[in-house]
Structure 1
Amino acid sequence: MTLRNSLLLTLSYSAQFSYPLRVSQLWLRLLTVPHQRFSKKLFVQEILVLVGRKKIIYQDGYLFFPGYERDIALRIARERRAEQKQSQIKKVVWLCKKIPWIVGLAVTGSVALRQAREQDDLDFLVVTKHNSLWLARSLLVGFGILLGMYRSRNNAHTDGWCFNMWLERPRFVLSPERRSLYTAYEVLQADWVYDQGAVQREFLLANAWVSQVLPTFYVQKFSACSVAAKIKIFASIGSLLSPIGSLLNVLAFILQRWHMHAAMTREVVVFSQAYFHPRNTQQYVTKRWRELLQEIA
């Protein structure tokens, strides 16, 4: 893949979300094929060529395609809305810290990217200790319901809490069928707001496959993990519940699996991982991306 194609593919992927990129962001998020790397010098030169030929526009520090000027204002407005949702995120973090089995929490989706729309809820990835996912979920979801904030099919509202991805330590690897460009961006855009013992670092190590398509982004995120976290990386991996606790976790899994069975569509629920994504967002994003590429061709 040429550098020019890489630039246009990266910009168009972000354009479908009305998200113009700064030059530094474009470099960070640059799509490549495995083992392909570009120098910053060539990167800047190619941008200047594309801007000079009016293939892309540089305005107010952002890069975007002709006709997408309004996306700058949209991006700024959505950044403000995302900031307004921070108070709700802090409440969820506080709750997670009170539940001993939860060791990591990341904001995902539009709020993680600081691109929240008015009606967007808060999407979370929750990480638990070994053999405790379903006990932790029963408590966190229960608190959310009691507070009237849990986002479900029957309770959809602005700022609702949507715990749509659950992982149990140390089973962080996303299965091959879940690996895609959309997922790679989601992995790296996740905003870790609670990290007990290098959870983010373990998560990135387990999903190093994303570095094949987003190498610069991956290196930047991995390097940002604190040195202190590195030291503690194995500190709590061996932390297991007692036999009674493990049994309670099994019972909690059976009960919750039975309760949600009738309403399940595309959700994936197994003992150590759960993905509550009833809509095929990945398919929609890919379709929209192709349409946009045809539009700018």
Structure 2
Amino acid sequence: MTPIGISILQTLKYSDHFGFPLTLSEIHSRLVGARSSRPLLITAINQMLKSKTISQTGDYYHLPGHASLVARRLKRAKFCAPRLRLAQTLAIKLSHTPGILAIYLTGSLAMSNSSVNDDIDFMIIAHSHHLWTTRFLLTLYTTILGLRRTPNSPRSSGKLCLNLYLTPMSYALPNHKQSLYTAYELVQAIPLFDPHNTRASLFAANSWIRHYLPNFPPPKITPSTIYHLPSTINFFEKLAYRLQLLYMRPKLTREYVTQDSAFFHPHDPGTKVLRGLSLKGIPGCKPSRARRQAKGESSLEV
């Protein structure tokens, strides 16, 4: 199989993990670890269809024997439509909270692929040096309105889950957060509120995404992207950070928290996804040196 063919297969295999068949345009923009023109991609796909390496149902491509996923994708898209409208409405309401630069929809709902049990996941971009005061206000606001997901919320709640906070100071994700899973999450995130075009700056700061998804077209930086931020950390921000850290410390497991970022994923979904797939040999997926040294074998960095 050609390198492009391998990348096509692995791209479909990755999306199959989420029960999500892809269109031609989606395969092209999300092609894992390989750059390809659209004509070359079409040629490779046609060859793979003839050899029955992959299958096609209508406008969607998937692994052989998984045609039922097409109906599921269409059904979920219909189910997600009102939730997408709700997410947009909630984002507009939350955007009035002091300190917010942007609000992104992430997770399965951003792909119109969520089930009844899934939350509405938001990524919050706050002003530099204002993350923890912003988070305090958001937590207070969403709790009072009964919007926030809590440990006691029913599974089918459709509640808000504010699980990722960044600022312009933390756009560049740390090395241990750079993976195929994270790259997909970022390119699939939908900006529901982004008046300063933070998306362009976010992608510019994370050029490693091109290592995993070289075909994905990065958003263009515009003059509105440049935003003059406060240069000092005020007393309330320091206090908010220390108090929230003190409150969270007994509960922290694998969460990653700094003064300018907060990743609230106690069970790293990227690790779980990549462990569930046999992805060795995918172009663009780096082996983890630490894991190789620890186990004496090659595996993916997640």
Q: Indicate the residue corresponding to 2:268 in structure 1.
A: 280
Name the structure where helix makes up a greater proportion of residues: 1
CA distance in 1, matches of 2:174, 2:121: 20
For 2:133 and 2:76, how far apart are their aligned partners in 1?
35
Corresponding position of 2:214: 215
**Counterparts of 1:152-231 in structure 2 under 5 Å?**
152-157=150-155, 158-217=157-216, 219=217, 221-223=218-220, 230-231=222-223
State the superposition RMSD in angstroms. 2.0
1:94 paired with 2:95, answer no
Q: Cα deviation per residue 1:178-224 (whole Å; 9 max; x = unaligned)?
A: 1000001011111011113121111111111101221222x1x414x
Distance apart, 1:129 and its partner CA? 0.7
Identity, in percent, stands at 28
> What one-letter code is carried by the residue in structure 2 that aligns with 1:222?
P
Q: Distance in 1 between matches of 2:9 and 2:47?
A: 12
State the alpha-carbon separation in 1 of the partners of residues 244 and 89 from structure 2. Answer: 24
Matched residue, 1:72: 70
Q: How does 1:88-127 map to 2 (within 5 A)?
A: 88-127=86-125
Residue equivalent to 1:38: 36
Mapped partners of 1:70, 1:251: distance in 2: 53
Shift of 1:240: 4.5
Alpha-carbon separation, structure 2, partners of 1:144 and 1:173:
28
The one of 233, 251, 260 equivalent to 2:225 is 233
Q: Where does the alignment leave 5 or more consecutive residues of structure 2 unmatched?
A: 282-302
TM-score, length-scaled by structure 2: 0.87
SS in structure 2 opposite 1:114? coil
Over 4 Å off, 4+ runs:
none
Separation in 1, partners of 2:53, 2:152: 46
Q: Counterparts of 1:47 and 1:268 in 2: how far apart (Å)? A: 40
Q: Is the 8 A contact 1:169 1:237 kept in 2?
A: no
Deviation at 1:94, TM superposition (A): 2.4
Checking the alignment, whether the CA contact within 8 Å between 2:127 and 2:229 is kept in structure 1 is no
The reply to whether residue 260 of structure 1 matches residue 248 of structure 2 is yes
Superposed CA offset, 1:236-272 (max 9, x none): 233346x6xx110110111111111111111111111
SS in 2 for 1:216: coil
| CA drift at 1:48 | 0.8
Q: Counterparts of 1:32 and 1:286 in 2: how far apart (Å)?
A: 15
Equivalent in the alignment of 2:82: 84
Q: Deviations over 1:96-141 (max 9, x none)?
A: 3211210111011001111111111011110111111111101111
Contact 2:36-2:215 at 8 Å conserved across structures: no
Per the alignment, residue 135 of structure 2 pairs with: 137
SS at match of 1:232: helix
Structure 1 counterpart of 2:59: 61
| Equivalent AA in structure 1 for residue 228 of structure 2 | I
Structure 1 length as normaliser, TM-score? 0.88
1:112–1:190: 8 Å Cα contact kept in structure 2? yes
SS at match of 1:269: strand
Amino acid corresponding to residue 255 of structure 1 in structure 2: L
Contact 1:4–1:46 (Cα < 8 Å) also in 2: yes
Aligned equivalents of 1:18, 1:261: Cα separation in 2: 36
Amino acid at match of 1:209: W
Q: How far apart, CA to CA, are the structure 1 residues paired with 2:83 and 2:104?
A: 14
Q: 2: CA distance between counterparts of 1:211 and 1:280?
A: 22
| Cα displacement string for residues 32-54 of structure 1 (whole angstroms, at most 9, x for unaligned residues) | 25xxx323222111111111111
Whole-Å Cα distance in 1 between the matches of residues 273 and 178 of structure 2? 14
Please report how far the alpha carbon of residue 156 of structure 1 lies from its aligned counterpart in structure 2 after TM superposition: 4.5
Distance 2:189 2:228 in 1: 22
Deviation (angstroms), 1:154: 2.9
What amino acid is the match of 1:176? N
2 CA distance for matches of 1:60 and 1:7? 18
Other-structure match for 1:8: 9
Letter in 1 for 2:273: V
Shift of 1:91: 3.5
Q: Does the residue aligned with 2:270 lie in a helix, a strand or coil?
A: helix
* Gaps in structure 1 of 5+ consecutive residues: none
Offset of residue 233 of structure 1: 1.9
Q: Kindly provide the CA deviation profile for residues 55-87 of structure 1, in whole angstroms up to 9, marking residues without a partner as x.
A: 111111111111101100111111122212124
Aligned residues: 279
